[in-house]
């Protein structure tokens, strides 16, 4: 079955990037010239997704404004003949059918996903974490959707991370199938180095079936006193198994200060308007380090 619906949880507190995220959601922090969440919606659209539900909370109204017409700005750009600038903003209101819902209390990623139950109905759906930007030739979520069609099981996007990060993310019990595909039979959120299964962690992308909602309604709160999506997916991994896809793009963690810097440097080195100047600038400052 083709995946047509995606949800983007973007209702976290963003404490790791304060004070930048105090009044501006971390999902709206820019990578060169586009907010993180625009890269994520564009990735979903490239993979054939038509309907996107963004889960927001108080103070995140600017995400809605970003994907709407800005009548005043567009009229002014048209009147001044600024066609290039207009071409950057006008299509944003038509990227996909974008819907919004609020998570009233920040009770964790699992709780944010639970807000999407009515939107999802009885179809499989994609989840793209609002602060994980993945840049690559092939949309990462498209690779996961293909794996869903191929293996008929829920899918998570995985990458190997260092011990420093595995304790902050999740750890997968994996067996290699072939190429970029793995079979996952268990997982744990925020493990210790003693309880980790491997250094493979979920990095911001999943394809799930609606059964996840019943599991999320039944499981207890997990790490950090939050309802953890990983805990619900672990139930599926242990019973039916989950497919892991070591996706081909590069992932940037926009919920972390260093991740934001890396994203801006690497994308800046490929962006036509900044790449030459940035390359020279990096060489110049590197020679003084
Ligand atoms: P994180 O764990 O990175 O979000 O969740 P956070 O709570 O904002 O992080 P810190 O630790 O305070 O810095 C991953 C994704 O899930 C969303 C976040 O917005 C982020 O895109 N999320 C998290 C929700 O939508 N609701 C929640 O209750 C928690």
Per-residue pLDDT tens digits for 105-127: 999 999 999 999 999 999 999 99
Question: Is the CB–ligand 1 distance for residue 255 below 6 Å?
Answer: yes
Give every CB contact of residue 138 below 8 A, 6+ residues apart in sequence.
248, 249
For 85, the token pair is 């600038």
Residue 277's Cβ-side half-sphere holds a number of Cα atoms within 13 Å equal to: 5
Question: Is the CB–ligand 1 distance for residue 15 below 6 Å?
Answer: yes
pLDDT for 63-84, tens place per residue?
999 999 999 999 999 999 999 9
Query: Does the structure show a pLDDT above 90 at 57?
Result: no
Write the residue with the smallest CA distance to atom 9 of ligand 1. 14
* Band (58; pLDDT cuts 50, 70, 90): confident
> Is 232:102 a contact under the CB 8 Å cutoff?
no
Q: In whole numbers, what is the pLDDT of the chain averaged over residues?
A: 95
Question: Is the CB–ligand 1 distance for residue 148 below 6 Å?
Answer: no
Write the residue with the smallest CA distance to atom 23 of ligand 1. 12
Query: Does the structure show a pLDDT above 90 at 141?
Result: yes
Question: Is the CB–ligand 1 distance for residue 154 below 6 Å?
Answer: no
- How far does residue 21's CA lie from ligand 1's centre (Å)? 12
DSSP 8-class letter at 225: G
* Band (29; pLDDT cuts 50, 70, 90): very high
User: Can you tell me which atom of ligand 1 is nearest the CA of 57?
Assistant: 25
- How far does residue 167's CA lie from ligand 1's centre (Å)? 16
Question: Is the CB–ligand 1 distance for residue 25 below 6 Å?
Answer: no
Question: Is the CB–ligand 1 distance for residue 183 below 6 Å?
Answer: no
* Band (98; pLDDT cuts 50, 70, 90): very high
> Residue 195: what pLDDT?
96
For the entire predicted model, the pTM comes to: 0.95
pLDDT for 225-258, tens place per residue?
999 999 999 999 999 999 999 999 999 999 999 9
Query: Does the structure show a pLDDT above 90 at 59?
Result: no
> Residue 60: what pLDDT?
74
> Residue 165: what pLDDT?
94
Query: Does the structure show a pLDDT above 90 at 61?
Result: no
Pocket perturbation via mutation, ligand 1, pick of 7, 109, 205, 233 by most ligand atoms within 8 A of CB: 109
Query: Does the structure show a pLDDT above 80 at 159?
Result: yes
């Amino acid at each position: 079955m083709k995946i047509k619906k995606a949800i983007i949880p973007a209702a976290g507190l963003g404490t790791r990037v304060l004070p930048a995220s105090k009044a501006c959601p971390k999902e709206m922090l820019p990578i060169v010239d586009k907010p993180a969440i625009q890269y994520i919606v564009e990735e979903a659209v490239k993979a054939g997704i038509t309907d996107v539900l963004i889960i927001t909370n108080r103070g995140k109204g600017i995400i809605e404004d970003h994907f709407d017409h800005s009548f005043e700005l567009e009229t002014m750009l048209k009147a001044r003949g600024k066609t290039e600038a207009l071409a950057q903003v006008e299509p944003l209101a038509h990227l996909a059918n974008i819907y919004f819902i609020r998570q009233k209390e920040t009770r964790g990623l699992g709780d944010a996903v639970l807000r999407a139950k009515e939107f999802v109905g009885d179809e499989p759906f994609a989840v793209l974490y609002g602060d994980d930007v993945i840049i690559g030739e092939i949309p990462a979520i498209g690779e996961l959707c293909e794996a869903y069609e191929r293996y008929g099981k829920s899918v998570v996007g995985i990458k190997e991370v260092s011990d420093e990060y595995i304790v902050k993310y999740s750890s997968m019990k994996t067996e290699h199938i072939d190429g970029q595909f793995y079979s996952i039979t268990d997982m744990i959120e925020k493990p210790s180095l003693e309880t980790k299964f491997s250094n493979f962690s979920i990095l911001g992308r999943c394809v799930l079936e609606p059964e996840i909602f019943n599991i999320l309604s039944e499981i207890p709160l997990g790490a950090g006193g939050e309802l953890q999506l990983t805990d619900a997916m672990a139930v599926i991994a242990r019973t039916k198994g989950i497919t892991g896809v070591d996706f081909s793009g590069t992932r940037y963690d926009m919920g972390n200060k260093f991740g934001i810097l890396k994203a801006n440097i690497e994308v800046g080195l490929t962006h036509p308007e900044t790449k030459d100047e940035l390359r020279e600038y990096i060489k110049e400052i590197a020679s003084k380090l």
